[in-house]
């Protein structure tokens, strides 16, 4: 986001909070707040929370409860894979493709669930459930509904769960994502990795263990979140969970990094290279699998605002090889 646009959004959020007799925190005062100190919460999060954010695991759950759930999943070779679809940007064919890729690339017993506001066109053999409710200010951005999968009761699911964005492409076996020993896993963010933020395109968690994430979210005003986390859901999630483990970097290559030259001018004349390794190919920014196959970017997916010189939608030569993986 352009700095001026970002500051403008923050100022608008501040004015919105000050213009009413009750701010965001007051509107959610009846929501249960976690009760004990949370060692992983950053100083920025503590500074911008009023009252200070505190956290514990879900009530009655010991700190190592995930280990029992992990051992059970590994013993039974059973896990959930979930995705989310809301709005009109992605049609049902994206869900159908993702479910087909998952089933082709794992030997585990998988319960595949799509949380959506419109199941029309999704294959009947795919379980659909309503979107988990997240009350958020739209000025923060469009990805905050993803926090809903952290709720205590998630559509009757239990245990180990792998979340996948609709626009990933599975290029290798998924079983290692289920046997990787950790409580909460996500992709390491490629930009400024030293900041310790994650990318939420591929997330593994245990249902109900991270429900305090929503308590922490409702404990902060939109203006505070915009300032502390640049309005990014994945930045907030990286800090709000009890502990974060990043997937091995080679498991989740980014199309922009693994398939394209760094020089943007060279990209115009380059054919994207097929990744030499990896399991899930992640797309971010304004490129999707569909647009990459056409050698273009997708304007509707662009997150950044502000002025930028763009000579057209063409970005590189067609990546036809994506069709080898991205099929129904």
Q: Is pLDDT above 60 for 110?
A: yes
**Residues 302-312, mean pLDDT to the nearest whole number:** 52
Number of domains in the chain: 1
Q: With CA atoms as reference, report the closest residue to 272 among 282, 261, 283.
A: 261
Q: Are 195 and 55 in contact (CB under 8 A)?
A: no
| Structure tokens given for 315 | 């970005």
* End-to-end Cα distance, the chain: 35
Q: Is pLDDT above 80 for 59?
A: no
Q: Which residues contact 221 (CB under 8 A, 6 or more apart)?
A: 13, 17, 23, 24, 25, 48
Task: Please report which confidence band the pLDDT of residue 38 belongs to, taking 50, 70 and 90 as the band edges.
Answer: very low
Q: Identify whether 100 is part of a domain.
A: yes
- What's the pLDDT at 302? 59
What is the CATH classification number for the domain harbouring 97? 3.90.550.10
Three-state SS annotation for the chain? CCHHHHHHHHHHHHHHHHCCCCCHHHHCCCCCCCCCCCCCCCHHHHHHCCCCCCCCCCCCCCCCHHHHHHHHHHHHCEEEEEEEECCCCCCHHHHHHHHHHHHHCCCCEEEEEEEECCCCCCCCCCEEEECCCCCCCHHHCCCHHHHHHHCCCCCCCCCEEEEECCCCEECCCCHHHHHCCCCCEEEECCCCHHHCCEEEEEEEEECCCCCHHHHHHHCCCHHHHHHHHCCCHHHHHHHHCCCCEECCHHHCCEHHHHCCCCCHHHHCCCCCCCCCCCCEEECCCCCCHHHHHCCECCHHHCCCCCCCCCCCCECCCCCHHHHHCCCC
**Residues 33-47, mean pLDDT to the nearest whole number:** 35
Lowest mean pLDDT among 43-52, 60-69, 176-185, 268-277: 43-52
Q: With CA atoms as reference, report the closest residue to 236 among 219, 216, 210.
A: 216
- What's the pLDDT at 61? 61
Task: Please report which confidence band the pLDDT of residue 288 belongs to, taking 50, 70 and 90 as the band edges.
Answer: very high
Of the CA atoms within 13 Å of residue 261, those in its CB half-sphere come to 12
**Residues 114-134, mean pLDDT to the nearest whole number:** 97
Q: Is pLDDT above 70 for 10?
A: no
Residue with tokens 């505070």: 224
- What's the pLDDT at 268? 86
Q: Which residues contact 160 (CB under 8 A, 6 or more apart)?
A: 69, 70, 73, 78, 79, 80, 178, 204, 206
Residue with tokens 């693994």: 258
- The parent domain of residue 224 ranges over 65-249
Task: Please report which confidence band the pLDDT of residue 51 belongs to, taking 50, 70 and 90 as the band edges.
Answer: very low
Q: Is pLDDT above 80 for 221?
A: yes
- What's the pLDDT at 307? 45
pLDDT tens across 153-166, in order? Answer: 999 999 999 999 99
Q: Identify whether 190 is part of a domain.
A: yes
Q: Identify whether 101 is part of a domain.
A: yes
Q: Identify whether 20 is part of a domain.
A: no
- What's the pLDDT at 5? 52
**Residues 65-75, mean pLDDT to the nearest whole number:** 96
Q: Are 275 and 171 in contact (CB under 8 A)?
A: yes
State the CB neighbour count (10 A cutoff) for residue 282.
Answer: 23
Q: Which residue has the higher pLDDT, 107 or 54?
A: 107
- What's the pLDDT at 168? 98
Q: Which residue has the higher pLDDT, 56 or 268?
A: 268
Q: Which residue has the higher pLDDT, 279 or 2?
A: 279
- What's the pLDDT at 17? 41
| Structure tokens given for 304 | 């950044």
**Residues 189-204, mean pLDDT to the nearest whole number:** 94
**Residues 122-129, mean pLDDT to the nearest whole number:** 97
- What's the pLDDT at 264? 80
- What's the pLDDT at 263? 84
Q: Are 253 and 205 in contact (CB under 8 A)?
A: no
Q: Identify whether 297 is part of a domain.
A: no
Lowest mean pLDDT among 6-15, 168-177, 224-233, 312-321: 6-15
pTM for the predicted model, two decimal places = 0.81
Task: Please report which confidence band the pLDDT of residue 301 belongs to, taking 50, 70 and 90 as the band edges.
Answer: low
Q: Identify whether 286 is part of a domain.
A: no
């Amino acid at each position: 986001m352009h700095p001026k646009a970002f500051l403008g959004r923050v100022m608008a959020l501040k004015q919105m909070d000050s213009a009413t007799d009750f701010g965001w925190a007051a509107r959610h005062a009846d929501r249960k707040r976690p009760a004990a100190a949370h060692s992983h919460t950053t100083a920025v999060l503590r500074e911008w929370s009023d009252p200070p954010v505190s956290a514990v695991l879900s009530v009655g759950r010991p700190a190592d409860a995930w280990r029992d759930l992990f051992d059970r999943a590994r013993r039974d070779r059973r896990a959930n894979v979930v995705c989310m679809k809301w709005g009109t940007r992605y049609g049902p064919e994206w869900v159908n493709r993702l479910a087909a890729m998952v089933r082709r690339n794992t030997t585990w017993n998988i319960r595949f669930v799509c949380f959506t506001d419109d199941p029309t066109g999704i294959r009947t053999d795919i379980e659909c459930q309503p979107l988990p409710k997240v009350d958020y200010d739209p000025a923060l951005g469009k990805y905050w509904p993803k926090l809903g999968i952290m709720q205590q009761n998630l559509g009757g699911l239990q245990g180990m769960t792998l979340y996948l964005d609709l626009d990933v492409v599975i290029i290798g076996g998924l079983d290692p994502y289920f046997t990787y020993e950790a409580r909460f896993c996500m992709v390491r963010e490629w930009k400024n990795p030293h900041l310790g933020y994650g990318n939420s395109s591929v997330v593994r968690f245990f249902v109900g263990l991270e429900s305090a994430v929503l308590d922490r979210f409702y404990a902060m005003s939109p203006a505070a979140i915009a300032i502390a986390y640049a309005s990014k859901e994945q930045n907030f999630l990286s800090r709000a969970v009890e502990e974060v483990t990043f997937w091995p970097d080679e498991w989740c290559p980014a199309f922009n990094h693994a398939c394209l030259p760094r020089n943007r001018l060279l990209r115009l004349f380059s054919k994207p290279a097929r990744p030499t390794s990896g399991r899930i190919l992640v797309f971010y920014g304004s490129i999707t699998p569909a647009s990459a196959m056409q050698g273009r970017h997708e304007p509707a997916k662009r997150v950044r605002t502000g002025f930028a010189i763009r000579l057209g939608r063409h970005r590189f030569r067609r990546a036809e090889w994506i069709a080898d993986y991205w099929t129904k």
